[in-house]
A and B are shown apart, each in its own frame.
Chain A
């Protein structure tokens, strides 16, 4: 199981939990697992998020490995100029 920190305004879709757990070994499984376990997150996940895994930010790389003890933080999708 991977522990995921979500941002505050998403907590209304996770029974007010800021830390949730999903079964995932990579980014794709993480995002799919979150959507399945917490359907209220799906609209935001579909619009796009970024994910910090052990301090590095990933946007799209489905097969980025995640270790059980990785620090995983859901971020608003990064934008740039």
Chain B
């Protein structure tokens, strides 16, 4: 229903942008022809396997690989001793330590050695032959226990300068944002709520496990094929870890089976390159699902305390949140993002957030769609809902009353330009979903969400082929439909049909630096670069035609896919189409191309409101999602079907996070549910069709008004569902996931 209900506030007229052409990767994917990471092969290829720690926390006293190396068919064994230490860059040093443990294994599943052998069977046999002498240490996997007195310490002296002296050594950083006076604001409130909320770590749950193929020649040239959200990041990180020149390592991104932020770092790639270097053979590595869950980054788990004050008429007088996120065994949980985004949807005079970055014996967290924001929104939006209902107020009206607008000083500091939160709330209020009747044991919840979006380094080359078709080369793996979107924007700009443009994802040797596909940046930044590259090509084509016609360049113009004469002195000439210009390119100066290399910044922030109906089974505590509607500002929806898909995907992952997904650790610190049978993500039969309403409040920082859409949609679901379940169950739910036993117990205890 998105197109029928969307508000088009932009006056720009489009012919292709805003339509729904077939996706260019669809046929290959549904017929099995698409080449994912594990589909890449090379002659003479070896199989690489990783030995992983069975302990949550252990000192590695010694590793004996001699027996493994003696096995016939084993070509290389790698441990941390094969890698040079990185002393000038803590972040890259942590990535290396996560890929291959150094002095300590810091979590169950931490890589401690790797083997390359002529078969997977031999590689597994070799792993068993590696002897490791561990000194098992006490461990901690819970964020609050990790900062309690006496907790096992993961790293000594890693806290940054923001952490007050005397704090737990497992606290790595402290952040504080906000303005105003919390105590004064709370004093003005008619009602103050204080609550604590907890969320568990969840995995991005991409269907395609990590996979790569590496080869390295004796002269230091190397090639790597892998599934990733950023092959330039892979190149740069691997080059730093391996001591290679970036220009000597070419990385090609495969088709990608999902990423959601989890493929914005490296896990196998440096190890595969080292095995290839030692063996002088191509080495292929593919993770099992168990390895993906045990050793790649889930998101952080969180523990959040909230204090919010509200007047009887629903005005929020103060908002305070203290957020503790554990990001696994290394610094870098997204708590600063949670702290900045927690109250971002609201216009508050008094607001403060304090965030603590905590380490535990869990895998190093990786980004997950709007990293850090969903947990913060869960706490804030749950508390606002409880306050509103406690005061007998409409929760949507309360949000409207407090909504941030153009000119609002955001809780994280800046003053907002034109934003779309109010539009999403008003559209939600007017939507039939809001007034639809509910049955017994059913409840309705709403929640708002915010995300920043950003730009970053971007290169696009647009080539005009001799027959007048167009190829666009971009450097960002297509995780959300970017090839279709870039083709559409190029076709729109050039005035040619969509099917005359093909967009490819080029390898790292073909374009300059490109930022990772993250931050909802690609349609914004790569789209902007594509438009500028097309405009550069148009300028060149105008110049060529002016020369052919023997008139000044300013006496021609580009219109409707052709160069036309313009002005009184241009003379009479039949327009020349792009195809006609391309056909004589050799005669007029050679091949025609447009480039754009830039670091586009100024991406617009994005807001969403979600509405959900749930039913709780009073006998089992099981929750069923009955109806779900997403209202979100897209700036401009280039391909509305993809935008709807992003909205639906974010909502669906949020449903999993809210209801079922969690990392469960045993007393010994090992992960108990490292497989999709026990780590339960939502499947189609769990879900209703998720309705979407696209709003279009143009971003003035983009030629077509585009904002990012990929991340905001995972921010509101946790709270929206908790608000709905709490209403249905008759008891406030403050811990995620709201699995059946937890909901049943809450109902029994109320």
Contact = CB atoms under 8 A, between A and B. Distances in A.
Interface of A: 5, 7-10, 13, 18, 40, 43-44, 47, 50, 52, 55-61, 64, 71, 73-76, 78-81
B371 interface: yes
B414 A73 contact: yes
A40 B160 CA distance: 11
9 contacts: A9-B354, A10-B162, A44-B161, A50-B454, A56-B701, A75-B340, A75-B412, A80-B454, A81-B370
Given A76-B175, A79-B334, A80-B367, A61 B599 contact: yes
Contact of A55 (B204, B336, B414, B521): B414
The 6 A-B residue pairs whose C-beta atoms are closest, nearest first, are A81-B261, A80-B519, A8-B176, A81-B367, A73-B413, A52-B414
Contacts of A10: 162
Contact of A76 (B161, B261, B340, B369): B340
Contacts of B261: 80-81
Given A57-B602, A76-B340, A81 B161 contact: no
Given A8-B352, A44-B162, A78-B452, A61 B601 contact: yes
B66 interface: no
Nearest to B164: A12
Contact of B601 (A5, A13, A59, A75): A59
B264 A81 contact: yes
Interface string B344-378: 00000000101000000000001111111000000
Best-buried of B264, B336, B457 by chain A (most CB within 10 Å): B336
Contacts of A43: 160-161
B413 A75 contact: yes
Given A56-B601, A57-B601, A76-B340, 18 more contacts: A8-B177, A9-B174, A43-B161, A56-B417, A59-B455, A59-B601, A60-B456, A60-B457, A64-B601, A71-B414, A75-B340, A75-B412, A79-B334, A80-B261, A80-B452, A80-B711, A81-B261, A81-B711
A14 to B, nearest CB: 13
B603 A60 contact: no
Interface of chain A, main secondary structure: mixed
Interface in B400-442: 412-417
Given A52-B413, A57-B601, A78 B454 contact: yes
A80 B603 CA distance: 13
Given A58-B601, A73-B413, A7 B177 contact: yes
Nearest to A7: B177
Contacts of A71: 414-415
B520 interface: yes
B413 to A, nearest CB: 4
Contact of B416 (A55, A58, A60): A55
Contact of B599 (A9, A60, A75, A81): A60
A66 B162 CA distance: 28
A59 B454 CA distance: 9
B66 to A, nearest CB: 42
Contacts of A58: 601-602
Nearest to B406: A55
Given A60-B599, A80-B367, A81-B368, A9 B454 contact: no
Contacts of A74: 413
A76 B415 contact: no
Contacts of A64: 601
A55 B417 contact: yes
Contacts of A7: 175-177, 412-413
B266 interface: no
Main secondary structure of the interface of B (DSSP, over half): loop
* Central interface residue in A43, A79, A81, by most chain B CB within 10 Å: A81
A40 B161 contact: yes
Contact of A8 (B161, B178, B416, B521): B178
B318 to A, nearest CB: 15
B369 A81 contact: yes
B453 to A, nearest CB: 8
Contacts of B197: none
Contacts of A56: 417, 601-602, 701
Contacts of A81: 204, 260-262, 264, 366-371, 518-519, 711
A67 to B, nearest CB: 14
Interface in B587-620: 599, 601-603
B516 to A, nearest CB: 8
B304 interface: no
Nearest to A72: B414
A67 B417 CA distance: 17
Contacts of A76: 175, 336-337, 339-340
A80 B175 contact: no
Contact of A79 (B162, B178, B519, B601): B519
Contacts of A61: 599, 601
Nearest to A55: B417
Contacts of A79: 334, 337, 367, 371-372, 518-519
A78 B337 contact: yes
A13 B371 CA distance: 27
Contacts of A59: 454-456, 599, 601
A57 to B, nearest CB: 6
Contacts of B366: 81
Contacts of A78: 337, 452, 454, 519
A81 B518 CA distance: 5
Nearest to B335: A76
Contacts of B599: 59-61
Contacts of A44: 160-162
A80 B515 CA distance: 11
A69 B334 CA distance: 32
Contacts of A50: 454
Contacts of B178: 8
A1 B176 CA distance: 25
Contacts of B260: 81
Nearest to B700: A56
Nearest to A60: B599
Contact of A9 (B162, B455, B601, B602): B162
Identify the interface centre among A7, A43, A59, A71: most chain B CB within 10 Å of its CB: A7
B223 to A, nearest CB: 27
A9 B368 contact: no
Interface string B701-723: 10000000001000000000000
Contacts of B602: 56-58
Given A55-B414, A73-B413, A80 B176 contact: no
A78 B269 CA distance: 25
B161 A80 contact: no
Contacts of B415: 55, 71
Contacts of B369: 81
A57 B454 contact: yes
B87 to A, nearest CB: 15
Contacts of B452: 57, 78, 80
A78 B708 CA distance: 14
A35 to B, nearest CB: 13
B710 to A, nearest CB: 8
B316 to A, nearest CB: 20
A64 B455 CA distance: 14
Nearest to A8: B176
Contacts of A18: 179
Contacts of B603: 57
Interface in B441-458: 452-457
